[in-house]
Amino acid sequence: MIKESNVKTSKSIGVASRVRRGADRFVKASAWPRDFVWGVSTSSFQIEGATSEDGRGPSIWDTFSAAGRVANRDTGDVACDHYHRYAEDVALIQRLGVQAYRFSVAWPRLLPKGRGCPNEAGLAFYDRLIDALLEAGIEPWLCLYHWDLPQALDDLGGWLAREAASWFADYATLVARRYGDRVKRFATFNEPSVFTLFGYGFGDSAPGVSGPVMLGRAIHNVNLAHGAAVDVVRALVPDASIGAIHNYQPCLPATPNDMEAAELFGAYWNNAFPDPECLGAYPPRLVAAMEPYIHEGDLARICRPIDWFGLNHYSPIYAKADPNAPLGFTFGPAPADLSHTPIGWPIHPEAFHDNLLEVSARYHLPIYVLENGFGGNDAPDAAGDIVDTARITYLKAYTQAMHQAIAEGADVRGYFVWSLLDNFEWGSGYGVRFGLVYVDYPTQKRVPKASFLWYADLIKSVRRQGSQRATI
Ligand code: FCB
């Protein structure tokens, strides 16, 4: 029987003060796990640009942004121009001192129509990137899908079509064959619950449709695609280490009347993917909704052995009931006494601590935190420096909370900051900055922020103390 444990009250995540009291003393005195991986993450559409260059086909995010559905009518056409500046970006990653870099491959760059004839120029771009990383001593962590579905496949139904699982398996085959000699860390999907909820449930991300039926179909087809891709990569790259990347955050009721909404939101947000993928069943609250899409044998196809759980975490979510919303629930206000980032995301490191313990106990897989970061509106000061003290404070508190969770038994093996660069932040466009490196978009000049130096120092000090003793 699967336990539904993602819904908590503010009171229960308030183990907080206990964590905070112990943290400083503890972290100074104790060790990080040996071989802990420090990294940094990005994704293809958010940084690459060059959307119509060298044979790349359009993705659903090109279509969505061309329709003016992103803030300021921003598009990914240029983004951080990483397609041309990847060598400079690899040098920055090397300077940061991380051991690993998580990026995603743009499906429409490799297969402009989503399937059929591969695009050699697109394949060659990731050859160059991977080779540059390896040369710099950085391990490439390759994510197959970070939301940029080829538009040609969306035209055939996209994730609403059951055949999407075999389209994805064919794409994974191409990737594994081409890069499997050099890449050993593969993730299938990034945050499947976020892109299905926003793209097919709420309707405010690409492809921008909404309703419970579409959401259910999309969830199930993405789960099938995950299982199919795990099998393909495992067969083609026998020494691969394979996982999937899930957002996981407490979903709390905005008011005492929103308990029901919070439970349902939490089931979609946290468990709709990892439960079937790792435990072989949909969470109890979603069983009825998912039942129409499940064919015999599907859950066994979805639940394939994987090696790790990629966890993305930023802040708790507050849910409220809304009978007019497509799914009957929506985002509610966070308690007024919680501090938040400039983009309004609550800051609550104790919730992160609790989630790490919860995910470790629920899924019994090593955890890699593959996204955690701070969204702001950074700008250079008079001297041209970007002194992002609030980001440093956030990262410090979250890494301390993680360290405490490890001490209490959470099996966390690595931590990656989101993100290397300021970039295209989906519906918010370029107005929101998450980077350790500031990007001046008109000139594409990169300027490491104070947080870049702080993170580099943290990694250096952890690694310097061979026994992995460090003060953060
Ligand atoms: C996550 C996404 C990532 C980025 C961060 C801020 O949900 O995976 O691409 O947008 O949020």
451 lines ligand 1 (CB under 6 A): no
pTM (two decimals): 0.93
Question: CB neighbours of 29 closer than 8 A, spacing ≥ 6?
Answer: none
- Residue 290 dihedral angles phi and psi, to the nearest 5°: -90, -20
- Asked if 153 contacts 114 with a C-beta cutoff of 8 angstroms, the reply is yes
For ligand 1, atom 2, the nearest C-alpha belongs to 191
pLDDT of residue 14: 38
Please give the distance, rounded to the nearest whole angstrom, from the Cα atom of residue 168 to the centre of ligand 1: 21
Q: What is the pLDDT of residue 395?
A: 98
Q: Which of 43, 70, 189, 418 to mutate to test the pocket of ligand 1 (most atoms within 8 A of CB)?
A: 418
Tokens of 422: 């300021």
Ligand 1 pocket member 104 (CB < 6 A): no
43 close to ligand 1 (CB < 6 Angstrom) = yes
Tell me the C-alpha to C-alpha distance, in Å, between residue 292 and each of 163, 195, 303. 16, 21, 19
d(CA 418, CA 67): 27
The tokens describing 246, both together, are 């899930």
Please give the pLDDT value at position 466: 56
- Residue 191 Cα to ligand 1 midpoint, Å, equals 8
Active site positions, annotated: 191, 371
> CB of 371 closer than 6 A to ligand 1?
yes
Beta bridge partners of 246: 311
pLDDT the model gives residue 210: 87
CA of 334 to the centre of ligand 1 (A): 20
3-state secondary structure of 261: helix
Closest CA to ligand 1's atom 10: 425
The three-point CA angle 59-444-378 to 5° equals 95
**Per-residue model confidence (pLDDT) at position 463:** 87
Q: Please tell me the distance between residue 390's alpha carbon and the centre of ligand 1 in angstroms.
A: 19
- Return the residue whose CA atom lies nearest to atom 9 of ligand 1: 43
- Number of DSSP helices (H) and strands (E) in the chain, helices first: 17, 13
Mutate to test the pocket of ligand 1, among 370, 425, 428, 436 (most ligand atoms within 8 A of CB): 425
Pocket flag, ligand 1, residue 434 (CB < 6 Å)? yes
Please indicate whether residue 418, judged by its CB atom, sits closer than 6 Å to ligand 1.
yes
The answer, yes or no, to whether any atom of ligand 1 lies below 6 A from the CB of 422, is no
The residues pairing with 308 across neighbouring beta strands, listed in sequence order, are 243
Ligand 1 center to residue 394 CA distance, Å?
17
Residue nearest to atom 4 of ligand 1 (CA): 425
**Closest to 405 in 3D by CA, of 13, 112, 61:** 13
Q: What is the mean pLDDT of each run of 10 residues along the chain (472 residues)?
A: 31 36 44 92 99 98 98 98 99 98 99 98 99 98 98 98 98 99 99 97 92 92 99 98 98 97 98 98 97 98 98 98 94 95 97 98 98 98 98 98 96 98 98 98 98 97 66 48
Pick from 59, 146, 312, 416 the residue to mutate for probing ligand 1's pocket: most ligand atoms within 8 Å of its CB.
312
Amino acid letter, residue 210: S
For a ligand 1 pocket test, name from 44, 102, 191 the mutation site with the most ligand atoms within 8 angstroms of its C-beta. 191
> CA-CA distance, 39 to 141, in Å (whole number)?
9
Which segments of 6-103 does DSSP mark as H helices, in order?
16-29, 44-47, 60-66, 82-96
470 three-class SS: coil
Is 270:33 a contact under the CB 8 Å cutoff?
A: no
Cα angle 314-451-383, degrees, rounded to a multiple of 5: 135
Closest residue by Cα to residue 310 from 416, 440, 155, 222? 416
| Distance (Å) from CA 24 to ligand 1 centroid | 29
What's the gap in Å between 265 CA and the centre of ligand 1? 18
